[in-house]
Protein backbone atom coordinates (compact mmCIF):
# COMPACT_ATOMS: atom_id res chain seq x y z
CA UNK A 1 0.00 0.00 0.00
CA UNK A 2 1.24 3.52 -0.80
CA UNK A 3 1.83 6.01 2.02
CA UNK A 4 0.14 9.38 1.64
CA UNK A 5 2.08 12.38 2.97
CA UNK A 6 -0.04 15.47 3.48
CA UNK A 7 2.79 17.62 4.81
CA UNK A 8 6.57 17.39 4.93
CA UNK A 9 6.49 18.80 8.47
CA UNK A 10 5.82 16.33 11.26
CA UNK A 11 2.89 17.23 13.52
CA UNK A 12 3.83 18.73 16.86
CA UNK A 13 2.23 18.55 20.26
CA UNK A 14 1.43 21.87 21.89
CA UNK A 15 3.00 22.81 25.21
CA UNK A 16 1.14 22.37 28.47
CA UNK A 17 -0.67 25.41 29.78
CA UNK A 18 1.23 27.02 32.65
CA UNK A 19 -1.85 28.86 33.91
CA UNK A 20 -4.98 26.86 33.01
CA UNK A 21 -7.33 28.83 35.30
CA UNK A 22 -8.29 32.33 34.24
CA UNK A 23 -10.14 35.15 35.98
CA UNK A 24 -11.07 38.72 35.21
CA UNK A 25 -11.02 41.01 38.25
CA UNK A 26 -11.93 44.69 38.33
CA UNK A 27 -9.73 46.95 40.46
CA UNK A 28 -10.37 50.31 42.09
CA UNK A 29 -9.25 53.35 40.10
CA UNK A 30 -5.50 53.88 40.41
CA UNK A 31 -4.66 50.33 41.57
CA UNK A 32 -2.94 49.33 38.34
CA UNK A 33 -0.85 52.51 38.38
CA UNK A 34 0.23 51.72 41.96
CA UNK A 35 1.15 48.17 40.90
CA UNK A 36 3.12 49.50 37.92
CA UNK A 37 5.06 51.85 40.22
CA UNK A 38 6.14 48.91 42.42
CA UNK A 39 6.98 46.29 39.79
CA UNK A 40 10.61 45.28 39.30
CA UNK A 41 12.33 45.43 35.89
CA UNK A 42 10.98 42.71 33.63
CA UNK A 43 8.12 41.85 35.99
CA UNK A 44 4.72 41.96 34.36
CA UNK A 45 1.52 43.08 36.04
CA UNK A 46 0.14 39.57 35.91
CA UNK A 47 3.26 38.15 37.59
CA UNK A 48 2.99 40.78 40.33
CA UNK A 49 -0.68 39.98 40.98
CA UNK A 50 -0.13 36.21 40.80
CA UNK A 51 2.73 36.43 43.36
CA UNK A 52 0.68 38.66 45.67
CA UNK A 53 -2.25 36.23 45.61
CA UNK A 54 0.02 33.26 46.30
CA UNK A 55 1.61 35.06 49.30
CA UNK A 56 -1.83 35.88 50.69
CA UNK A 57 -3.04 32.28 50.28
CA UNK A 58 0.03 31.02 52.17
CA UNK A 59 -0.43 33.66 54.89
CA UNK A 60 -4.08 32.79 55.44
CA UNK A 61 -3.47 29.04 55.31
CA UNK A 62 -0.78 29.35 58.04
CA UNK A 63 -3.03 31.48 60.28
CA UNK A 64 -4.76 29.47 63.02
CA UNK A 65 -8.57 29.69 62.87
Cα separation values, 4 from 7, 8, 12, 36, 52, Å: 9, 11, 18, 54, 53
How many domains does one find in the chain? 1
Q: Judge whether 1 lies within some domain.
A: no
Query: What residues make up the domain containing 53?
Result: 31-62
Q: What is 30-42 written as a DSSP string?
A: THHHHHHHHPPTT
Q: What is the pLDDT of residue 11?
A: 74
Q: What is the pLDDT of residue 16?
A: 85
The Cα–Cα gap between 11 and 9 comes to 6
Q: Judge whether 42 lies within some domain.
A: yes
Q: What is the pLDDT of residue 50?
A: 95
Q: What is the pLDDT of residue 5?
A: 65
Write the CB contacts of 39 (distance below 8 Å, at least 6 apart in sequence).
45, 48
Q: Tens-of-pLDDT digits for all 65 residues of the chain?
A: 667 767 777 777 788 888 889 999 999 999 999 999 999 999 999 999 999 999 999 999 998 87
Amino acid sequence: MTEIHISAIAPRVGRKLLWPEKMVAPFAKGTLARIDALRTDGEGRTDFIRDAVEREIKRRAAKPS
